[in-house]
Structure 1
């Protein structure tokens, strides 16, 4: 399973201007609906799931988040990728009382449990390498993000 096949140029935001989780989720949901990738309930379900099961990860000097929601909210599978200079606060996966400024956010729009598990495993390998995160943060546009992730996945 290669996560690259789920990347959609229109679902990538480089150096996003979103300031908080709500704005980020609204941005992804609006574009997802516009392209027929998600249902109307996607935004609500995404926010509800993140509240109950936070997805922020504090890694070696940087923060990442992997929000996702119920499969029935996904019409066509995708992975949205957002990078941000200042980070967007996400509650930590292991401790809801703490948060991390996520500089790279992968919103998983997957509707097959098998795909989700494999993509999560692949993403965990990618995000644990600081060089990979640096490369994503240095990306100047959507094509750069796809290129970086394609090269990483090919390793």
Structure 2
């Protein structure tokens, strides 16, 4: 990966009362836009991409999703994580007809196709482990979730 995870993983959002995938992507996009990581076009481009290429993963015990946009909508690379207090529906990455109840969302704003593919793979590998998903979903604060994710991803990349 061009950027190390500790350079691009910026924050964890604990979101409540979100009802749709569009809402969660909007909240996360607004956060990145306010911090100068993405362009105004990022949100709509991500929603459009999600329709064509869904990013829901049927992880256990709760689904995860990894929405992202193309590099032209990225100012500076960033990955953020949202833990939802209730699940929202995302279409399954491998079969868009299937819907997944998602409680953990990783929003990626990265440059370079190889970079995106590597991060997608690392995040998907992290989420394959039920224990990792459970720890993140049950984390009580942003710092706890950030430490769990950072430590596990750093171990994968060494």
TM-score, length of structure 2 as denominator length: 0.89
Deviation at 1:17, TM superposition (A): 3.0
Distance 1:54 1:100 in 2: 11
Distance 1:147 1:140 in 2: 12
Distance 1:67 1:149 in 2: 17
- Most deviating of 15-24 and 44-53: 15-24
8 Å CA contact 2:28, 2:82 repeated in 1: no
Distance 2:17 2:6 in 1: 24
Distance 1:46 1:80 in 2: 14
1:35-114 map, 5 Å: 35-114=35-114
Residue 27 (structure 1) aligned with residue 27 (structure 2): yes
Q: Which runs of 5+ in 1 are unaligned?
A: none
Q: Which residue, out of 7, 10, 13, partners 2:9? A: 7
Q: Which runs of 5+ in 2 are unaligned?
A: none
Deviation at 1:85, TM superposition (A): 3.0
8 Å CA contact 1:68, 1:109 repeated in 2: yes
Distance 1:24 1:69 in 2: 15
Q: For each residue in 1:13-54, what CA deviation from the matched residue of structure 2 results, as whole angstroms up to 9, or x when unmatched?
A: 124432211111211121111111110101110100000111
**Partner SS state of residue 14, structure 1:** strand
8 Å CA contact 2:5, 2:154 repeated in 1: no
* Structure 1 partner of 2:140: 140
Distance 2:71 2:47 in 1: 14
Alignment coverage as a number of residue pairs? 153
TM-score, length of structure 1 as denominator length: 0.91
Distance 1:15 1:41 in 2: 23
